[in-house]
Structure formats: C-alpha cells, structure tokens
Structure 1
C-alpha cells in the first residue's frame, strides 16, 4: 500500500480529513467548555441554577432523554455525566418516531400510497440511522467509564411516550432538553420553550424529578413533591477553604487545558505523518511515566496531561476524581474520537474503490429501474386505452343491438301488412286466371281467322317467298349434319325447351352452336318458319342473337352459342352462379333498350318482339346481353290507317301488355311494357308478379333502398331511383302514357352506362 503513490495520496487526504474533523470537534468542545465555565452574574438565581448538581445521595438509575440530533442533544448527556458522578447506571431514553412521508425516486409520498415492502425498507433504514446515533451516545458514556443502557420506544407522540415510560419504568430522575435546539437558547431563558417539555411539566407523574437543559445550562427543574425543590450541589456543603482551593485549581487547569486546545488547533493546518503521530504519542507517555517514578507526588497531574496529549490509540481514561475539572471529560472525548477517526482513515482508501463500484452499480440499477417504471407506465397507459376502446366497442354493440330490436319490432308490425298483401295477390291471381281463360278463347277464334288469311297468302306469294328465302344471308345444313352435331339429339345436350320446340347444344365444323328444333305441330304450314327465317336473316345488331344457318327440310334453326345462359338464370343465381353487379345491370338495361329501338325502327317494316322477358335475354362470355327467340315476331306494316292484329303471343303473361288481353293487338309499346318489368327486376331482384305495385309503394314512402337488391352491391341511390322510375313509366296500363324509347329512355340509360364504366 505504501509503495503505491496513488494509495499514499489517498491515505494522506484521509488523514487530512480526520485532522480537520478532529479540529472541528475540538472547536465544538471548546465552545461547550466556554459555556460550561461558571460566569459571574449579578443575578444570584442564575448563578445558583448553573452551579446546580443532581442529588447523588441515592444511587438509583438516572434517565437521560436523547434525540436523533446528536449535535444538539450530546450537551444534555455531558451535563448529566458532569453533575451526577455517583450514579451507577445511566439509561439513555430515546423515542423513535417513524416518518409518515417517505422519499422515493426524488418525490415524497405518504405511507398510505406505498406498498408494505417499500415502507418496511424505509423503516429499516431509519432504524439503522437511529442505532448509529445511539452508539455515539453510548461511546460518550464509555469514555466517561459509566455503566449505560439504551431504552428505545417507538411512538408517534413524543410527550405521551415519555409520560408512559415514566409510569411504566418507575422513572424518578430524568434529564432532558428544554428546547428543540441549542440555537433557541438565550441568556435570560428561565423555562422550556419546546412543546414536549411544557407538556411533561404539567402531565408527568409527580414522583419524577426532571432537569431541563439547554446548551449545557440548567434552565429549570421539575421536582418531586415529596422532595426538596432544587437540592443544593454537594460542593455547597464543603468548607470555604476547600471551595477556594478547588476554584483556584479549577482556574489553573482551565488555563492549561485551553492552551493545549489552542496548540491542537494550530497543528491542524499542517498534515502530520502517521508514524510521527504514533511515535510522539508513545514518547509522551514514557516521559510521563519517568516523571511519575522520580516524583510520585508531583507527577500525578503531569501523567494525566501526557496521556491526554498522546495518540488516540493509546488513550486510557482515568477514573474521574471529585476534584477533577469538568472540561477534562470533553478533552478525553476529543482524543478518543480522533483515534477512532484515524483508524477509519486507514481503511478508507481500500473502501473507496468498493464504494465507487457499488455506487456505479446502484446508478445502473436505478437507471434500469427508471426504464422499467417508464415501460410499466406505457403499458398501463396502453392497457387503459385498450379498456376505453373495448368499452366504446361494447357501447356501439349495445346501440346496434337496440337497433336490431327496433328492426324486429318493425318486422312484426309489418307482418300483418304482408298478410294483407298476400291476400290481395291471391285475389289478383284469380282475376288474372279469369282474364287468361278469356284470352285463350279469344286467341282460338283469332287463330282461325289467321289460318284462313295464311292460306290465301300462300296461294298468292308462294313463289316470291321461295325466291326471297333463297337469297337470304345464312347457311343451310342437312339433317344428318345436325344429327351428328347433337349425337342424335342426346337428352344430356338439351339446354332448353319452349312452346315452339327444344334447344340443343352441339358442335358444327368445330364451332359451338345452339340448335333450335321447332315443333312441327306449332306451325300449320311452312310459312311461319319461313317468315321467322326471313326476319332473322336480315337483322344484324350487337345485342341481337346471330342466326348462323337453317335446315329447311326439318324446321331447325342454328344460332350462335352464349355460354353464360339467360338473364333469368343470373337473376335467380341458378346453379350457384354469382349475382350480377349493379354496374352490369345498368349496362344490360341500356343494351336491351338499344336493341328494341333497332327492331322497332326496321325498314320498311317495324319488328315487334312480342315475347320480351329475361329468359329470352342471353349473356355471352363477357356478360353482354343479346335478344333471342323471335318466334312470335311479326312485321308491322307502318301506315296511318291499318295495322296487324295478332293473338299468338306465347310469352309469360306477367310480361304481356295488359291491353293485349282486351284488344289482341301487339304494338311497339307492348315491348315497352315488357321492358319496364325487366327494369324493375334488375333493380330489386324480385319476381315479376306484383313487382309494379311493390316498387310504386316504396317510391311513395321513400323506402326504395329497402327493396333494392343488395346482392348487386352498393347501388347508388340516384341511379337506382332513376331506373325504378323509368320502369314504372314503361309499365303504365295505357299505351299512350308509356315513354318513347329513343327520346325518354335511351337518353337517360346511355349516359348512365357511360358514367358507370369510365
């Protein structure tokens, strides 16, 4: 250790600190000695109080109340040691008050806000600090060579704890401070200024004598009622000569000790070597022993002084004699304290690195703890926010549940209304069945008239018809070729069946086609077949089904094949097909309108479809719509005075113009009525029966959104409303009230289609 320069410097600094602490301690003792020195005063009462000693006639225990402030309370213990020499045992009484406010992480918290472990940890730290302070008091008693004990009471109320201790332990003699600190002492102080001493004067048991001390001075006493108040000191019983000799001796010793104190203070400024301190201490003790052997009478006092000035490690306390001065105790305490500090200085250099390492580890742990606390705070905030979100979701679900309950109530309320509507529908069905029977009777009568007209027409124009048919733009197939394309008309290849015949799927010349075999019974002669072929061969439009060829000998038509079936199949999602979106439905409505305008504007004669319904609207691979089945189409000769009357409409009666049942006439406005029903079905997805009344009521009540087909997606309300309104206008009962397709319908549907796909 001595070979290391750094360790040597640390040891020198430690010794310097020890000497400086010893110097400060000497100054404190000097101040206390100055206070303890009897002063001349004009007041006889003050002189009597300062010279008062505790009555030592009895050898019972003396209790000294000490506090946690060692600097202020040690003067009380020193006064008791100085004034009571024959007491066998001193009991150091201390009341420990646990703190209610605890400092953690730079802040103060009440014990009610902390955990049990945190409180217990802080309480243990307080007890360790209290035990350290009590050891300082016990060290003073050890230097004075008196027997001492500790009595520690843990309580919140200091005065009550002291009163209870006096009663419980039978305390008859108690020394305690008169003020909270030595700074409260004034020259004319005659009574306690602290709250606790004032309470003890009034409420302590009368059997206890209490001496109140402040800054080494007796302020007042509280005597037992059975004893004489303020007993005089033992020195007052001595003779005047003895007192005079003792005073003279006291003054001489005070002067010599004061000079030694000043010598020690002057030596503080220079840093002595440890070896020289020990050597000088030993030499002074040896010199004192030699003087004692040569002059036993005169060396008694010198040996005491030599021992006092020697090294703190060799200091031995002399049994105090009655004539020894009071400040001698203080000087011995200083020397012993200096020895204790010098021993600790030797270990300080070794402990310094350990302390620094421990401080560094503690700092790291504190940083980790702060980080952990910060993360915990973040997690708690996230948990709190999660709870708030979950609560908000629960409230939303509660609101939705209440809305569902309201909807259920509405459904229950409308149940009776639906029953009434069903009853009305049944009545309407009966009416329609009656009208249908009447229409069938009318159709039979009209069919007879038609047959007669056809016979006459065949006679006059059979040659012209044959020549025209031969010039049509289509291919002719043999029956054997068509039979081979359909595997002899296998039933598994049948894809449809109607009033006029069946439809098969087949392959002709590596091309997939639809082959329609007409029922020979549906035509009384070949004129119907030739008329349909003639019409279809002349019509070419993107939204009309293309006729590819014909087999005249067997009444068979060959059309292009469309893979996505009919519009009826897609509206009903047949075979699990996906529903059409509202954009596709908007486009289909415009395409059907365009194809109808093309048919109605055909020259020289308009073409009336007559059987327009979703089953006759086919969809190709790109879901482009094409009209098919012109089996009941007829040429309408445009004239101002005449038109054809036909009764052979074979479409579903729901799509048929209502005026047809009363007049038997098919006009262009008949196709407009059927087109209106298709528009309403595209918007709602509902069956055709009763759809006109259902949509009309929804528009009147402003509840169109409730009947819109949600499988088509999120319909824009404005577009759905426009299409539904057009459908209702097209379904007017009277033909003259129905809109014109070019002027009133296509001008709305075509821009809507363009805006949807741009």
Structure 2
C-alpha cells in the first residue's frame, strides 16, 4: 500500500541570516488515538515559512526548475540527527535541496502509576490525550529541524510516514518518492570508533539489503562518514516494477521475485570534516526561538491537553484505588476459596476414612452374625442334649388343676380342634397346658403311643414337650411369651409389626422344622397336618417354635407311601392341601402346601382367601412391590421375588409340581437367614 506522507518545507531568503519563515503544519486527525498500531500516514500541503519580521508578505516564488534533492533519514534523538544533518550540509547539500525522512512509530504502551499500560487497556480519553502529546512532540521535532535548516540557510522539506517497522517505512518512502541519494546513521553515536568500516545497526544493515538498488546511501556516525552503498543499474525486467511494488518487495523476505544482487558497499577512510564538525557544534545545543503568535496558541493548546491529562490521571487514580480495593476483596475471596478447598479436602479424606471404617464394620458384622449363629446353634444343640437326658415328666390332674386355678377361663390362651390351651404355673415354671378332647382321640392306647413318640422329638424350632397327664389326655409344653405368628401378623394388642428380616428368618426356621419332622427317620416320621400361623409360636427373642406337631397323624414306618386316611376335619380349611381335601390322603406335600400359604402371608400381610391369585397376578405383571406388606419395611426386590416364587410353587394344585421342602425350599431360604 502506498504511504501518504506528511510534508513541510521552507525556502529561506538569500540575504538575511535571520529567521524569515514560520513552520506551518495542518493538524492531524484525532484518529491518532486509535487503539490499533497498524501502519498509517498522513499528508499536508507543502508550505513555506513566512517571514518573522513581516508575516503578511507574499510567499517566495516557486522554483522554476526542479532541484536535486538529497534525503536524510533521522530518528527521535536530536543529537544523532543534528550531527548527520551538519555532515549533509557541509558535504552533500551545498547545491541541493534537503528532504528529511522520518518514520513515526506510535507507542504501544504508556507510563502510568509507575508501570507501563498497554494502549488497548486505556480509556478512549486517556489514549487520545497520550496520542495528542505524541503529536506535539513530533511537531516540536519538525520545528527544530526546520529552524536548524533555516539558520544554515538551506532549503528543506520533511516527509513523515507512520509505520510499526522503521525499515519498512524508509523503504516505502524511498519507493514512493524515487529517492536516489540518502544519508542515514550507521550506528548510534556511543558506538562510534575510528576503526568502524561498516554499519552495525540492524536498521542500516536491513536498508543495505532492502532499499532500492538505484539509491545511493551514505552511512554516517557522530558526524563522520563510515561507508557508502553505491547505486547500480537494475535489469530491464526489474525496471518495469513500479515504485510501490519495489517497496512491498523490499519488506517481504519470502517474495519469489528478488532484486538484482546489490554490489558491496564502498568503504572509505572515516575522516571528520572540520567544517562539518564546526557546524555540528554550532547547532547541536541551540534553542531556536519560535514565532510568538504560533507559540502562544500552541502553549494554550498544550495547557488544555495538560488539564485534560490531569483530569484523566485523577480518574485513573480513583480507578486505581477502586481496583486496589477490589484486589483486596479478591484476595479475601481467594483466601476463603483456599480455606474451603482445604476443608473440602479434609472432608473428602474423612469420607474415605469413614468408608473404610464402615467397610471394616460391615465385615466385622458379618463375622459377628456368623459367630452368633454358630453360638445359637451350639446352645440349641446343648439344649437338645439336656432335653434328651431329662426324664419325661408325668403330671397328676390335681397339679394341672392347681396350676390353672381350676382351669380358669382368664388363663385360657387358645382353642383348637384338639382342645383348649391354658397358661399355668407348674413346679416353679410357666407352662402351656393343652387339654385334649377325648372325643378326638381313639383311646388311651393311641394317646400313650403318641406321647411316647413325641417325647423323642427335639428340635430348636419345635415347641418342647415337658410332660403329660394320662388321666385327662393333657400335654404340658414350654410357655412362649410372644404369642403366635397369627397374633403378630394382625398386630394383636397393638404390638409392633414384624420386620421383613424377622419374617424371612421365621420362614427359614419353619422350613427347618418341617425338614426335621419329615425326615426324622425310623421307626417314625411325622407330618404336622395342621400347619398355620396360629400354630407357630414365638419366644422372647422372636425365635419361632412349631406347635401341635404330631397330633393329627402318627405315621407308621412300615407304610411305604407314609400315607393314612384322615377321618376328621382337622386344621383350618384355607391352609389345607386341595388333594388332601379331595382324597383324604395326608402326605409331606400337604405340609408343603400349607407352608406356601404362610410364605405368601408373611410377604403381603393379606388375608388368606384369594392370596394365591393376587400374588400370581402381581408377579406376572411385574407389580409385586405394590402388594408387599409395607409395615415390614423396605423389602429387597430380589428377596421378595424369591419368596413369592417359592410360595407360588408350594401352592401348586398338583403335589408333584411342588418343591421338595429339604432340597429346594431350604436351599433358597437358608442363605436369607443372615441377610443384613
């Protein structure tokens, strides 16, 4: 992109050594406050300085012929460019016009509050103020150059371009204005030495490579010529390239089309010209006066800018204080966040520790449950051994009458098909006395036979038979204080409902008792025949004991099918095996059917009538949870499903379809006894 140049020039009079012309520039646009540092330039019309002693006189005549121009590249430091300009005046520009080239590079950071703030972080007002000050400083530099040229009585103009890269800016100016002679610094003055034969600054070295080959370049340092890059002819192909294309090509190292090779520069003996040194000393520290009118106007503008700057700085100071307060608050919040992180870490560690402890406690609980079961089993075995050693007691009728206060109805705790049950206090112990109905017996012979068989039956989940009274066909059992399972399922006397864990354990205990009865071995095997919740009694620890076993039937071992005819309506109808009701044949499968009904009642807590169909429908539709007894707590779905399916299998109409109480039912229920 071709650059737009800011140009100022003057034409000094030929007779007077005084300052005759004023420096005049058109003000730049406020767009100099733009946040971006993109390359840009501006222009003003070429003007002459009017005479100081008579500002109203006409301007000098235009040059009739185009003069030769030598270009001088200057930087920001006055010391360096004054020395270079003095050398040009003495050695090159005696008959030529001088044009000063300067690349203005806008600042990207600005000093504020002891730090440098990026331009993009400043407010629009603050950035505009700083750009304005930059512009004023640039104008002051231009005035100093023009005043120096005026003092030396030489013609001069200034070309300024704004670029982020100085080398790129100089290459662009050379291309746009067809510069053929250029003077620029080889290095900063502090690096000058008499042995210097070539440029050392990066900008000078870049210009040797990138500047138009047709341009002759003198490299000076501290008012001394270091070396010269001589011009050379370019090829015909290169001559067709426009000045703008040459400038672009010079700034792009990767462009495929290159200039013709630049011949090596011609070093010369670095000597100082006495006249140039004299001129340099004469102008290096001059403080040239400005025209009073222009100076007053600029001074007013500068004061206004300073006032605006002070206001902006005050705003910035307030903003800085607010920022500091916010930083303090942010530090507090950061500290709080760190504390919360530490607490969160501690809580996480505590949770992990508690989880480990809980896992350890769970393992200890499992071990404790297993140990308790082993101890319970051992106690039961010891009790059974003790019962075996104890002699079966025979009681007199008078003892039973006294124990029950004459068979007082207030001590009656139950009635059944076999007779009434009384609570009594006999020989220092609370007992349950069952008075059998003689009409339900076949005679004393059968009674003694049954008593003899029952006295040999011992199991932890069977009610213990203490003794008997042959006179009145009475049996004396241990007394169990928590009543029957029927009472607990109906919460009789506002008793608390049984939990699902207790119900599962009771089901397994009843199953264990049935397995024992059915496989008691020779010479006898027992079938309960009247299995129902009212015949399942609970001790003080809610351990279930099966009562009334053996009263319905006593099977002889020599009957291969272990079957007998039932001559009476024994037991509750809804718990009876349908095939037994049809045929009168009682088998172990009859107890299995009754056990299935008890399982469904433990699971749902619902009445017996229609319970099989309700559970079957719920299982089929996947809605078993809706019919579970909620008073037992939250049933595990897997446990409830297994019990429901087992209960339904036990209640099959066909005996052959029912599971074996030992090999099937016990294998399912036994693992559930210790379920947490």
Normalising to structure 2: TM-score of the pair? 0.44
Greater share of helix: 1
Normalising to structure 1: TM-score of the pair? 0.40
